């Protein structure tokens, strides 16, 4: 910031200085041209007066620093101080024409044959002839060098501008650096800073709220993980102690062993889901996205869930079309599996689950619809939270870890996909994921 303020301040000073310098030299150049023409005119009038006395001999005696040409009424050269060739006609030159027409003429053009730019002044004498004087334009530029000390003044002003820009930068930044956002009125020094201070305060409050929210989620997640892990571990420990102490009848050992295996499997599934969520949070450790056909993956998943669906006479069906997206195949598989698994768990007996894949312009929609119990409107925003269950009293009978929809949500974020949920209690649920089409 300091560098930008200094640069802008210094460049502003330099720009103003250069504009002023350009105007000054332009005015000085114009003034010098006018003075030179006046000097040429004075010499021409003086020379015309002398011509009446001595003609060309008088012109030769002048020894002027200017180029003098005497032109007859017919345009012929009667005298030229720098050339012996008097054969050329001069009436083609604008300053000579104007002198014959109006009494005087002036102009700037290249001299013949030298090619040097010169200033010309032509004066009509009483006898109808024209006296023309010229001076190289370089002489005018040389006159401008007489004001060269102004360049040292400009250099001094540049140095002063740099110093002033540096001091101005310090004066602007000093109150900013000393600004205390937590003070009652931090913008008292600069009232213009009030909008900035208010925005910073709003951002601070938003950050604090987000930190508090994340801290709450972290504590809730830790508590849920502890509870979900502790429950099967307690069961396993209890069953194992009873079997160790010989308190389990021989005909119940197989049943107790099955309970231990079931709780162990539940714990393994929970740990696997937590690890998946952790990887999705970090968005690391995944292979590069590749073309993935959603229809093929869904077609592979449905047979894997046929057994739990058939136990409740739930029909699974796949509709739509083949559609490719750029995605991570294992993550897409988990997303669809969890959606269908959830649709089965929260469905009614003899119900149905329909997986549909449709292309919609630049998007590809994957929908999973069920005929289940539905989700109340006030619960719909929270179903994608970790361990959140709508009906906590039946969570053990339904099974699962409570992380399925959270995995779906994070998987969608990984693929830059949107999620839409429509549900009514008693009328089923439709979850739609909108992927970017390949």
CB proximity list for 315: less than 8 A, separation 6 or greater: 309, 351, 352, 353
pLDDT digits (tens, 9 = 90+) for 214-254: 677 666 666 666 656 676 778 788 878 888 888 888 888 88
Pick the residue with more confidence: 86 or 29? 29
Pick the residue with more confidence: 38 or 387? 38
Which two structure tokens, joined as six digits, stand for 355? 């997986």
CATH homologous superfamily for the domain 2-146: PAS domain (3.30.450.20)
353/343 Cα distance (integer angstroms):
7
Over 50: is that where the pLDDT of 394 sits?
no
- Using pLDDT thresholds of 50, 70 and 90, give the confidence band for residue 356: very high
**CB–CB of 186/199 below 8 Å?**
no
CATH 3.30.450.20 domain span(s) along the chain: 2-146
pLDDT digits (tens, 9 = 90+) for 257-313: 887 887 787 777 667 766 766 666 666 667 788 999 999 999 999 999 999 899 999
Over 60: is that where the pLDDT of 116 sits?
yes
- Using pLDDT thresholds of 50, 70 and 90, give the confidence band for residue 393: very low
CATH hierarchy code of domain 288-436: 3.30.565.10
Pick the residue with more confidence: 147 or 354? 354
Q: For residue 184, what are the CA distances in angstroms to 188, 189, 192, 224?
A: 9, 12, 16, 42
The per-residue pLDDT for 313 is 94
| Three-class DSSP category at 349 | coil
- Using pLDDT thresholds of 50, 70 and 90, give the confidence band for residue 399: low
Over 60: is that where the pLDDT of 147 sits?
no
Beta strand segments in 125-236, E: 130-136
CATH 3.30.565.10 domain span(s) along the chain: 288-436
35/39 Cα distance (integer angstroms):
6
Per DSSP, helices labelled H in 245-323 are 253-282, 294-304, 306-310
pLDDT digits (tens, 9 = 90+) for 170-225: 776 666 666 666 665 655 556 666 776 777 778 888 888 878 876 776 666 666 66
Q: Radius of gyration over alpha carbons of the chain, in Å?
A: 49
Question: What percent of the chain is modeled with pLDDT above 90?
Answer: 17
Average pLDDT rounded to a whole number, residues 129-139: 82
Over 50: is that where the pLDDT of 66 sits?
yes
Pick the residue with more confidence: 318 or 249? 318
CATH 1.10.287.130 domain span(s) along the chain: 191-285
Among 109, 114, 113, 84, CA closest to 96: 109
pLDDT digits (tens, 9 = 90+) for 82-103: 776 666 777 778 888 888 889 8
Pick the residue with more confidence: 155 or 421? 421
CATH hierarchy code of domain 191-285: 1.10.287.130
Averaged confidence pLDDT in the chain: 78
């Amino acid at each position: 910031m300091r560098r930008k303020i200094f640069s802008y301040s210094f460049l502003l000073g330099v720009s103003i200085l250069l504009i002023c310098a350009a105007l000054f030299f332009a005015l000085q150049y114009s003034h010098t041209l006018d003075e030179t023409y006046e000097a040429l005119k004075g010499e021409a009038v003086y020379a015309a007066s002398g011509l009446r006395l001595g003609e060309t001999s008088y012109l030769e005696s002048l020894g002027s620093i200017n180029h003098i040409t005497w032109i007859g009424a017919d345009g012929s050269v009667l005298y030229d101080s720098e050339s012996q060739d008097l054969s050329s006609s001069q009436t083609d030159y604008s300053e000579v024409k104007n002198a014959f027409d109006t009494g005087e003429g002036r102009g700037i053009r290249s001299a013949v044959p030298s090619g040097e730019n010169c200033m010309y002044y032509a004066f009509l004498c009483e006898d109808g002839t024209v006296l023309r004087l010229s001076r190289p334009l370089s002489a005018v530029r040389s006159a401008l060098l007489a004001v060269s000390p102004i360049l040292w003044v400009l250099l001094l002003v540049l140095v002063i501008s740099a110093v002033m820009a540096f001091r101005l930068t310090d004066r602007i930044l000093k109150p900013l650096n000393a600004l205390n956002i937590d003070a009652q009125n931090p913008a008292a020094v600069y009232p213009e800073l009030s909008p900035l201070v208010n925005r910073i305060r709003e951002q601070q409050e938003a950050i604090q709220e987000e930190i508090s929210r994340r801290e709450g989620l972290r504590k809730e997640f830790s508590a849920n993980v502890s509870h979900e892990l502790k429950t099967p571990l307690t069961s396993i420990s209890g069953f194992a102690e009873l079997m160790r102490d010989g308190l389990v009848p021989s005909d119940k050992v197989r049943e107790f062993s099955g309970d231990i295996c079931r709780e162990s499997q539940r714990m393994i599934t929970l740990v696997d889901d937590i690890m998946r969520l952790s990887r999705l949070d970090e968005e690391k450790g995944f292979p590069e996205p590749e073309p993935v056909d959603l229809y093929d993956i869904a077609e592979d998943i449905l047979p894997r869930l046929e057994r739990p669906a058939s136990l409740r006479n739930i029909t699974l069906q796949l509709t739509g079309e083949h559609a490719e997206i750029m995605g991570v195949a294992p993550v897409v598989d988990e997303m669809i599996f969890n959606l269908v698994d959830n649709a089965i768990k929260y469905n009614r007996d003899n119900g149905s689950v329909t997986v549909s894949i449709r292309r919609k312009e630049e998007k590809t929609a994957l929908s999973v619809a069920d005929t289940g119990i539905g989700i109340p409107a006030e619960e719909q925003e929270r179903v994608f939270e970790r361990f959140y269950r709508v009906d906590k009293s039946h969570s053990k009978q339904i099974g699962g870890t409570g992380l399925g929809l959270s995995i779906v949500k994070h998987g969608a974020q990984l693929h830059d996909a949107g999620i839409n949920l429509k549900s009514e209690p008693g009328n089923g649920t439709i979850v739609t994921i909108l992927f970017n089409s390949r």
